[in-house]
Structure 1
């Protein structure tokens, strides 16, 4: 089942902003010089400059686009809601995600929002339901959400936010008879993504990407533990240039290859309804500002995150100024300010 809300003005505004930015770059580079044939460089020069600006890197990783590829795809960012408990093991598809966000759900457990754009894998899952928390997570990417569904109140808020989503019954979804419900719902993401085919467009960068050399000096931190509650902790260790999730539920060889772990301390409130088991449903609000902890290269850089609106991009800073995330694959931990904790060791 496809739910496609009435489009918001956000995409049009973002396209206008990108066009304006590209125009400024071209104006700065053109210098009013004429080409050898007296044409002034014109449209061809503008096309090249705009293409270099918009298609040089992938929006969810900041990594260079390969030769012959384009970061302007005919599909939007696809965000798959994935269960993150032992009942979900083995999780399929995380190894090909560009970026992952982990968020608190009821019962003190967590759920993953796995972002796919540069690569669209086949079978992914288990697929689970959305939360209102997802609005602030997916809206900045103008993403389409792949989900089992959601509570009626959540669906109403997702529609109001102008977010497209595909629920069970849409193309690609299937039940794996070898697993127990509700942990047996999967989708062929390649098939589901064909439902979004449209004009080629590059989304805005999800994070402020930069180089490792841009990072300010940090403190040694080769392991960390992000505790969302008394029931769930996600642990990481650094070795061989990357971070390994030591308590992952991913299939062997299909783990997410994290170059950076970005921890954001976030406010968590009550979504205002109970799950089928009678547990209060929490709601993470990814808006405002809070403490940020950027783990990269075996070090920790402390800073602050700001996000003026649910559909606005995330900004990072230290006392010295803007903070960028080294290009690569990033796992974002949305750890509650109250009831959560983050520990690390050398």
Structure 2
């Protein structure tokens, strides 16, 4: 189910160090206000269905957000500590970057914090992460090869110099760039209505197969993200978030993805990897202290993720999700009951 689309939108133009914001008017005119409430679709017998969030699958109370989905790139090393704003994210994706480290792509839609970061640069992996939502990628900048790829794939990106960016004098560069999403939203205006990012279902439909209360997602020999299940959710045991600002998902989705070469190196000479979030591969879904193994498919960068087990389609219980894009070669997934 989708929210009713707003009738006005703004397009963001990527620049090297600043943001040019241009108002794009819909054919029906620019003076109409966005609808206040999510659209209730009807069943064949005429009864109403309630709207659900495209990022969590949860029922939406009151008005649907009028802002775009913002996907903020956040550093995920010890140098980034403490990370800010993660507890407000609807969904967080983790990806491999050069040197064996990982980086986060945090999705903000239902709640826009005033302080998110530290914000770091984009990667070509972000294309497959952002395009299904027609979202706005928020990054410090990007290598020319990455910027060209993002532009060619029509991924809307804002970089340092745009409204909302600031430097924290109490941190050292480059780990001191922060973002105020409320300020950015005032400039971007209404976004297009996103479709469901993941296949949502109900708790009752989740076919828990075996216990799994501790989870390890290995991205490289340098980075393994670990989780512990308790009190209905998952807590990271080696994260870098500030106390009281931790992202605690209801579900962990780990996908084994192909990793190639992005075609350039970082300043230290490390090859930059590209996790291609498209195609198919092995999938692990952790919920309620249990795990189900299956397969994932995604047709094209803009396609939505589909999950299947030997028993058929697999849907996710509503709630916040951590999405781990673990390399099919060189990565690993381990868990214990």
TM-score in terms of structure 1 length: 0.85
Q: How does 1:166-177 map to 2 (within 5 A)?
A: 166-177=158-169
The CA deviation at 1:145 is: 0.7
Of 199, 215, 218 in structure 2, the residue corresponding to residue 224 of structure 1 is 215
Q: Is the 8 A contact 1:59 1:202 kept in 2?
A: no
Kindly report the root-mean-square deviation, in angstroms, between the aligned alpha carbons of the 2 structures.
Answer: 2.0
2:81 corresponds to 1:65: no
Of 132, 138, 160 in structure 1, the residue corresponding to residue 130 of structure 2 is 138
Aligned to 1:325: 316
- Quote the Cα distance in structure 1 between the aligned partners of 2:105 and 2:313: 26
The CA deviation at 1:245 is: 0.2
Greater displacement, 83-92 / 162-171 = 162-171
Aligned to 2:19: 2
Gaps of 5+ in 2: 1-17, 25-38
Equivalent position SS for 1:193 = helix
The CA deviation at 1:320 is: 1.0
- Quote the Cα distance in structure 1 between the aligned partners of 2:320 and 2:218: 21
Q: Is the 8 A contact 1:175 1:185 kept in 2?
A: yes
Q: Could you list the per-position Cα deviations for residues 223-251 of structure 1 after superposition, in whole angstroms to 9, with x for gaps in the alignment? A: 01111101011000101111000001000
The CA deviation at 1:3 is: 6.2
- Quote the Cα distance in structure 2 between the aligned partners of 1:217 and 1:168: 44
2:103 corresponds to 1:122: no
Aligned to 1:17: none
The CA deviation at 1:2 is: 2.5
- Quote the Cα distance in structure 1 between the aligned partners of 2:291 and 2:66: 37
- Quote the Cα distance in structure 2 between the aligned partners of 1:182 and 1:29: 57
The CA deviation at 1:28 is: 3.2
- Quote the Cα distance in structure 2 between the aligned partners of 1:81 and 1:59: 20
2:84 corresponds to 1:89: no
Gaps of 5+ in 1: 8-21, 31-47
2:221 corresponds to 1:235: no
- Quote the Cα distance in structure 1 between the aligned partners of 2:218 and 2:42: 47
Aligned to 1:194: 186
Q: Could you list the per-position Cα deviations for residues 119-145 of structure 1 after superposition, in whole angstroms to 9, with x for gaps in the alignment? A: 111110000000000000010011101
Equivalent position SS for 1:252 = coil
The CA deviation at 1:160 is: 1.1
Where in structure 1 do 4 or more consecutive aligned residues deviate above 3 Å?
25-30
Q: How many residues align?
A: 306
Aligned to 1:213: 204
- Quote the Cα distance in structure 2 between the aligned partners of 1:300 and 1:320: 15
Q: Is the 8 A contact 1:4 1:164 kept in 2?
A: no
The CA deviation at 1:27 is: 8.5
Which has a greater percent of helix? 1
Aligned to 1:18: none
Q: Is the 8 A contact 1:206 1:313 kept in 2?
A: yes
TM-score in terms of structure 2 length: 0.87
